[in-house]
Chain A
């Protein structure tokens, strides 16, 4: 790019940053207004609310207990996330130059910077956004529609994917979400959809297969190899402009690459010559398929209830999704108001991002992601947008439990104040919380057992804090 344009971009970013600072008269963007010496509430709230905060909110922040609403008030507020004031998080995002650039202009930046800022946004959202439930859903969609920064031009495109495809629809309508994903240049790159052309021989099946297997019907959801091929034909012609072309990352339909013939997919005949509209037919077809509601419901239940969720619950959530025509909120509500959910406290192993975010929140640590902190996520095996294959990071505890050593190390570093990106002063935290026993109550969200209490007796404050963060109960939610 020429220098003047680069300078313009930089100065624009500077202006945004300045505007952010001017609008929000605090030096630290994470500040919620309290002084860092203010006392922190430690008394656990109702078990229902503790569960929601732990499971669907990346862990409780002590202040959330002080603002104690009931579980149902919390859920209503979080479902209506548009009305939540998230100004502190949003002003934090203004600091990221790449987060604020249109998708085509991201190519002007070094891939490593784009990656670092995107991963920082993901971590900051998990730690600092007030829209707790939306962040939890985003974490699910990042796996459901997984893409890896390591493939092709995805490093430049994933930022727009997170910002423009996932964030607006995370708690919206599944068809809108799927459409935004399907027609996003990042996904067209990641699963080769952009190269799926009918004018030169065989179409590229990659996206069509994963659309059915991973994004909608699910493996065994009632589609055949023939359906994969027919859907590939139907989606042929959609492409994205690559690096080196003008209007990079622009998504367009090229009729000359499209297979205009009649198709027969998932038991439905598609007329010849539908052209650009055929993608809408495919979206309708896969969204209306009964396997899709069940597959998405199962994903939700696995994430928020149990690695092997009760079938009856999956069916009820699927029915909610079907009855609402694919609105996600009723399904999420059915799930989080269910007895099965209430009875599942402690049943899930936190995944590493969840563990890290919940540790920072529990310590009331201000988080300014830096290379070290992002590297810790990588070491824990859970760097955002880095799972190599399109099935996304796994949910099951079996996958994650071998990684305890890195969790212990992280707990140790954090508690000893060794992470500059998230400075913690264990002694001060204990004073603010009112002692070690209250700290244990606050971190575990319940009264500690005698064995857990023994962990925090004796030794210095940092050691006591590290033992709480590294203990088995804090690995669960």
Chain B
């Protein structure tokens, strides 16, 4: 049986892989991060060498159930260390691809529902022809009867506008499907207490959507604020807590449905190994990626070359030893989609995760 919905969580701004999943077993780790290193005893131990940040402790039960995989030192072909180059590069899935990897994935899934993205606009990963709609909340998709009538009256005019026809049709489809969701009340599973932060609320709405039986091929979420040039430890702690609690609640709320759902957590690049003068870190290269959900082979999938200067690249960054598509390919395949149709020829074999 294949998985239904793929959830992506994009940590925008360049999330530090050494903070997300510290290599507590690496002897050089405390030296390179004098201000922010965490002790093994304080972190969530994974395999003795890698741990998850203490603020991600809520993920312990998913780890124990084998539903969480850590892929460490993942990279793209980016050498600019620019957010605005690295993000679309990652989201397109190949340097010469037109449109995003999730758009190609959603097209291959040919679902009745459009792909959804929480936020003000579609992310790069969903651009390029798949049915996709940006929304800020599920309620945004219910415009009431008057607007529904208006959308019908305007349908013919929009159909003849090449720039807007597809968007208008997608919007009408989403309207019709999501207006019928409004009836049944939503009850979170026992023990689930959603946080009031935007990320948790978006995950809660995603859970609500799935529990009502809707199966969008993709739901994209963004968690902003990872660009930790300054005072990194203080900046990242609340974000890590939102991430950990949000994902743990999401899995618990979905229950068995989580077995048919995939979650990918990624970012555009990691950060400089050495701290800067502001107790922060500058743009780097290699990062940590998480895969959660049904069918995943939990565990650590690492290619670690250490933190000594000669193992680093550029101005002192993790080399990104694993091509990120090698980590995404097995996820894509679990949804019944040929990874080659999404990423083209892979630079290296898919990871066994």
Contacts and interface: CB of A to CB of B under 8 A. Distances in A.
B277 A397 contact: no
Interface of B: 12-13, 80-85, 119-122, 127, 132-134, 136, 140-141, 143, 146-147, 150-151, 153-154, 156-158, 160-161, 163-164, 167-168, 170-171, 174-175, 224-225, 227, 229-230, 274, 276-278, 280, 282-283, 314-315
Given A403-B120, A404-B164, A455-B154, A412 B146 contact: yes
6 contacts: A195-B277, A204-B230, A219-B82, A390-B83, A451-B157, A452-B157
Nearest to B156: A451
Contacts of B85: 219
A225 B85 CA distance: 14
A298 to B, nearest CB: 15
A134 interface: no
B278 A472 contact: no
B122 A402 contact: yes
Interface of A: 192, 195, 197, 199-206, 209, 213-214, 219, 225, 229, 349, 379-382, 388-391, 394, 397-406, 408-409, 411-412, 416, 451-452, 455, 463, 466-467, 470-472, 475-476
A405 B167 CA distance: 9
Contacts of B274: 202
Nearest to B175: A405
A209 B277 contact: no
> Which one of A199, A381, A405, A411 has the highest number of Cβ atoms from chain B below 10 Å of its Cβ?
A405
Contacts of A467: 150, 153-154
Most chain A CB neighbours (cut-off 10 Å) among B120, B136, B274, B278: B120
A202 B272 CA distance: 11
A204 B278 contact: yes
A463 B133 CA distance: 25
7 tightest Cβ-Cβ pairs between the two chains A and B: A381-B120, A200-B277, A472-B161, A401-B167, A201-B277, A195-B278, A402-B134
A416 B134 CA distance: 25
A229 B127 CA distance: 34
Contact of B157 (A209, A391, A471): A471
B132 A402 contact: yes
Contacts of A349: 163-164
A433 B329 CA distance: 60
A41 B144 CA distance: 34
Nearest to B272: A202
Contacts of B132: 402
A200 B34 CA distance: 14
A389 B278 contact: no
Nearest to B79: A225
A469 B227 CA distance: 40
B150 A408 contact: yes
A472 B157 contact: yes
Contact of B277 (A202, A213, A472): A202
